[in-house]
Amino acid sequence: MKVATKQKIKHILLGKTLKDGLIGKTALYLLLLIIGFVYLYPMIKMFTYSIKDLSDLVDPTVDWIPTKLYLDNYKTSWIVLNYGKTLLFSLSVTLVPAFLQTVTTSITGYALAKFKVKGKAILFGIILMTYLVPSQVYMIPRFVLFDKFGILDSAWAIIFPATFGQGLSSAIFILIFYQFFRMQPHALDESAEIDGANSYQIFMKIGVPLALPAYLTAFLFSFVWYWNETYISSLFLGSDLFTLQLKLLNFSSQFSLAEGLSQQAVNEAIKYSATILIILPVLLVYVIMQKWFVEGIDRTGVTGE
């Protein structure tokens, strides 16, 4: 009797394979929580600092929890960033290229998945190459080209390459769509063809509707990557147009240019609040659409070999 209880307790604690026992489970959760905390530490610190007032900032006894909720930092950085207007511009150079890039890369991926075209292998090689070659190599001639077109220092300089599938990480999206369309049953296309549909109709009526999850995933990633991009946009948008990210990049100089703040000095709390304001839109999208980001990678079959 006693031996049996002992066995039972041992079984609960250690389990069959160590992993399903109580000790194993607790250790797993604990580890994930601790690592998760360290992982998010920069964000947590950023948030707590952003609501500290000046006296809390200099007070070494106030570390994690501010003595009071102080929102003036947000007001200040709102003015410096010129938030409303800059947000609108940022959205125009992220949503538009993200959408157009998704459309073009889907058409390209569809063609590669569904048609026996000559030179497909070479094309694949080139597409992979566009992923591996850093954009810095062809950035300068693009700059000259856009200057000739007269679209430099405008949102068009970001939108045009995206429209033609030469935007940010376009190659990845082509591969995502390629994998996804390849998994669609061929019988559907054939039956539509027998019913008299042409290839373009089949694409619009069967290909696209069945691939909506891939479209959403590609669009979301494209949006986030465009949102976070600053290198190319700072070059092509010139010195007068600012996205939110570019304002943050030049926060100190933007701060001194902002009107009505001349009495104040910029401090880390204000900078942190500005950072939070900048990640807020993508954070909201992530909270709502989280499933599509995380599961999207799985579902679209990028991971298949």
Residue 84 Cβ, how far from other proteins at the closest point, in Å?
A: 19
Q: Rank residues 5 and 198 by Cβ distance to other proteins and give the closer one.
A: 198
Q: Rank residues 139 and 258 by Cβ distance to other proteins and give the closer one.
A: 139
Q: Rank residues 1 and 242 by Cβ distance to other proteins and give the closer one.
A: 242
Residue 170 Cβ, how far from other proteins at the closest point, in Å?
A: 8
Reading the block at residue 45, the tokens are 């610190």
Q: Rank residues 92 and 130 by Cβ distance to other proteins and give the closer one.
A: 130
Residue 145 Cβ, how far from other proteins at the closest point, in Å?
A: 7
Q: Which helix (H) or strand (E) holds 114?
A: helix 95-114
Cα gap 216→37, rounded to integer Å:
30
Cα gap 223→168, rounded to integer Å:
10
Sorted by sequence, the CB contacts under 8 Å of residue 277 that are 6+ apart come out as 74, 77, 78, 81, 83, 244
Angle among Cα 176, 228, 34 to the nearest 5 degrees reads 90
Residue 117 Cβ, how far from other proteins at the closest point, in Å?
A: 4
Residue 262 Cβ, how far from other proteins at the closest point, in Å?
A: 23
Q: Rank residues 2 and 37 by Cβ distance to other proteins and give the closer one.
A: 37
Cα atoms in the 13 Å half-sphere on the side-chain side of 78: 7
Q: Rank residues 36 and 185 by Cβ distance to other proteins and give the closer one.
A: 36
Q: Rank residues 150 and 260 by Cβ distance to other proteins and give the closer one.
A: 150
Residue 57 Cβ, how far from other proteins at the closest point, in Å?
A: 11
Cα gap 106→90, rounded to integer Å:
24
Asked if 56 and 48 touch (Cβ cutoff 8 Å), the reply is no
Asked if 281 and 87 touch (Cβ cutoff 8 Å), the reply is yes
Sorted by sequence, the CB contacts under 8 Å of residue 62 that are 6+ apart come out as 52, 56
Q: What is the dihedral of CA 281, 283, 285, 289, to 10 degrees?
A: 180
Residue 133 Cβ, how far from other proteins at the closest point, in Å?
A: 6
